[in-house]
Amino acid sequence: MKGIRAKILREAPLSNNCPECFNQDMTLSFTQQHRETRFMHKVYRGVTRELRCNTCQNLIYPVTWTEDIERSVEYYEKLVQPERPGVRLKPLFYLVAILVLALAGSLVYLYLSGLLTA
């Protein structure tokens, strides 16, 4: 059984200066949360963004962003197309649901026909 994972929607290299080490090698990534189990696949609503410097390996928080970085992030936010949030049921769910309904129906039939006593 799998847990919650982050699916990368888009990664973009930025050539802006890093506020920490002043190199021009950063990566902006947009992710969306997915949860997958045996019975369903759920896509969550929110999209998160992360800006990381490839030279100093630091995560750059929005507080330290310059105006150039903010403009670049706004541009790439417009290009990101997140998946529609929702739940997609898998065939195993339908199989279990049909088996439970068939078992309940057969128990009710047996009880009403007098073959099964309470």
Average pLDDT rounded to a whole number, residues 29-42: 93
Q: Compute the distance between CA of residue 47 and CA of residue 74 in angstroms, rounded to an integer.
A: 13
Number of domains in the chain: 1
Return the structure tokens found at 44. Answer: 């969550």
Task: Look at residue 95 and tell me if it is in a domain.
Answer: no
pTM of the model: 0.77
Is 108 within a domain?
Answer: no
pLDDT tier at 24 (50, 70, 90 boundaries)? confident
pLDDT digits (tens, 9 = 90+) for 66-87: 899 999 999 999 999 999 999 9
Domain containing 63: what range?
A: 4-90
**Residue 27 located in a structural domain:** yes
| Per-residue pLDDT reduced to its tens digit, 86-105 | 999 999 999 999 999 999 99
9 contacts 47 by C-beta, under 8 angstroms = yes
Residues facing 89 on adjacent strands: 40
Q: Is 110 inside a domain boundary?
A: no
